[in-house]
Structure 1
Amino acid sequence: MADSTTMLSISDPIHMVLIKTDIFGETTLVASYFLEWRSVLGSENGVTNLTVELMGVGTESKVSVGILNIKLEMYPPLNQTLSQEVVNTQLALERQKTAEKERLFLVYAKQWWREYLQIRPSHNSRLVKIFAQDENGINRPVCSFVKPLRAGRLLDTPRQAARFVNVLGYERAPVIGGGGKQEQWCTLLAFLCRNKGDCEDHANLLCSLLLGYGLEAFVCVGTKAKGVPHAWVMTCGTDGTITFWESLTGHRYIHKSVNPDEPPVAEQPKPLYPYRTIGCVFNHQMFLGNCQPSDSVEICVFDLNDESKWKPMSEEAIKSVCAPGATTSLPPFPPLCASTIDASVTSNEIEMQLRLLVSEHRKDLGLTTVWEDQLSYLLSPALASYEFERTTSISAGNEEFQDAIRRAVPDGHTFKGFPIHFVYRNARRAFATCLRSPFCEEIICCRGDQVRLAVRVRVFTYPESACAVWIMFACECAS
Structure 2
Amino acid sequence: MSLPPEKASELKHIIHQHLAKMDIHGKIRDVLAESVQEEAGPDPRALTEQDFIRALQCRGIVDEVMEGLQFSQVLKNIAGPLISCGCCDGGANINPTRRYLYLQVLGGKAFLEHLQEPEPLPGQVCSTFTLYLHFRNQRFHSKPVPCSCEPDLQEGFLLEVHRDGSKMADATTMLSISDPVQMVLIRTDTSGETTLVSSYFLDWRSILSAPNGKTGVSVELLGVAGSECKVPVGVLNLKLELYPPLTERLSTDIVSTQQSLERKKTAEKERLFLVYAKQWWREFLEIRPSHHTKLVKIFAQDENGVNRPVCSYVRVLRAGRLLESPRQAARFVSLLPLEKAPMVGGGVRQEQWCTLLAFLCRNKGDCEDHATLLCSLLLGFGLDAYVCVGTTGKGVPHAWVMTCGTDGSVTFWESLTAHRYLHQPVNPDVPTLAPQPKPSCPYRTVGCVFNHSAFLANCQPSDAVELCIFDFQDQSRWKTMSPEALRSVCAPGSTTSLPPLPPLTGPTIESAPASNHLEMEMRFLVSEHRKDLGMSTTWDDHLSYLLSAALVAYEQERCTGVSCGNEEFQDAVRRAVPDGHTFKGFPIHFTHRNARRIFATSLRSPFCEEIVCCRGDHVRLAVRVRVFAYPESACAVWIMFACKYHSVL
The TM-score bracket by the shorter chain reads over 0.9
Distance 2:482 2:320 in 1: 32
Match for residue 271 of structure 1?
439
Q: Deviations over 1:344-382 (max 9, x none)?
A: 111111111111111111111111111111111100010
1:240-259 aligned at under 5 Å gives the runs 240-259=408-427
Match for residue 136 of structure 1?
304
Q: Deviations over 1:262-311 (max 9, x none)?
A: 11101111111100000000001000000000000010000011111000
Match for residue 12 of structure 1?
179
Q: Deviations over 1:148-197 (max 9, x none)?
A: 00001100101110011011111111122222211000100000001110
Task: Give 2:641's aligned amino acid.
Answer: F
Q: For 2:567, what is the secondary structure of its paired residue?
A: helix
Distance 1:176 1:447 in 2: 49
Q: For 2:628, what is the secondary structure of its paired residue?
A: strand
1:30-49 aligned at under 5 Å gives the runs 30-49=197-216
Residue 73 of structure 1 deviates from its aligned partner by 1.1
Match for residue 398 of structure 1?
566
Task: Give 1:179's aligned amino acid.
Answer: G
Residue 77 of structure 1 deviates from its aligned partner by 2.4
Residue 78 of structure 1 deviates from its aligned partner by 2.7
**Aligned counterpart for 2:616 among listed residues 430, 448, 453:** 448
**Aligned counterpart for 1:327 among listed residues 480, 486, 495:** 495
Task: Give 1:372's aligned amino acid.
Answer: D
Is 1:29 matched with 2:196? yes
Decide which moves more: 74-83 or 314-323: 74-83
Is 1:410 matched with 2:578? yes
Residue 221 of structure 1 deviates from its aligned partner by 0.2
Match for residue 159 of structure 1?
327
Q: For 2:211, what is the secondary structure of its paired residue?
A: coil
Q: TM-score, normalised by structure 1?
A: 0.99
**Aligned counterpart for 2:255 among listed residues 87, 95, 106:** 87
Residue 79 of structure 1 deviates from its aligned partner by 3.3
Distance 2:374 2:244 in 1: 37
Distance 1:98 1:37 in 2: 18
1:163-202 aligned at under 5 Å gives the runs 163-202=331-370
Superposition CA RMSD, Å: 0.8
Match for residue 106 of structure 2?
none
Distance 2:381 2:223 in 1: 35
Q: Deviations over 1:192-236 (max 9, x none)?
A: 001110100000000000001111100000000221000000101
The share of aligned pairs that are identical, in percent, is 74
Q: For 1:32, what is the secondary structure of its paired residue?
A: strand
Is 1:301 matched with 2:476? no
Task: Give 2:215's aligned amino acid.
Answer: T
Match for residue 228 of structure 1?
396
Distance 2:437 2:207 in 1: 62
Is 1:382 matched with 2:550? yes
Question: Gaps spanning 5+ residues in structure 1: where?
Answer: none
Q: For 2:350, what is the secondary structure of its paired residue?
A: coil
Match for residue 286 of structure 2?
118
Task: Give 1:324's aligned amino acid.
Answer: P
Residue 76 of structure 1 deviates from its aligned partner by 2.8
Q: For 1:354, what is the secondary structure of its paired residue?
A: helix
Residue 25 of structure 1 deviates from its aligned partner by 1.4
Question: Gaps spanning 5+ residues in structure 2: where?
Answer: 1-167
Task: Give 1:208's aligned amino acid.
Answer: S
Q: Deviations over 1:61-118 (max 9, x none)?
A: 1221100111111123233321111110000000000011111111111111111100
Distance 1:35 1:16 in 2: 8
Distance 2:579 2:572 in 1: 14
Q: TM-score, normalised by structure 2?
A: 0.73
The structure whose Rg is larger is 2
Is 1:464 matched with 2:628? no
Q: For 1:428, what is the secondary structure of its paired residue?
A: helix
Q: For 2:212, what is the secondary structure of its paired residue?
A: coil
Match for residue 505 of structure 2?
337
Distance 2:550 2:238 in 1: 51
Match for residue 4 of structure 2?
none
Is 1:314 matched with 2:482? yes
Is 1:204 matched with 2:372? yes
Task: Give 2:203's aligned amino acid.
Answer: E
Match for residue 282 of structure 1?
450
Residue 12 of structure 1 deviates from its aligned partner by 1.1
Is 1:474 matched with 2:639? no
Decide which moves more: 283-292 or 34-43: 34-43
Match for residue 535 of structure 2?
367
Q: Deviations over 1:93-144 (max 9, x none)?
A: 0000001111111111111111110001111111000000101111110000
Distance 1:457 1:399 in 2: 20
**Aligned counterpart for 2:220 among listed residues 18, 37, 53:** 53
Residue 410 of structure 1 deviates from its aligned partner by 1.0
Higher RCO by CA contacts (8 Å cutoff, separation 6 or greater): 1
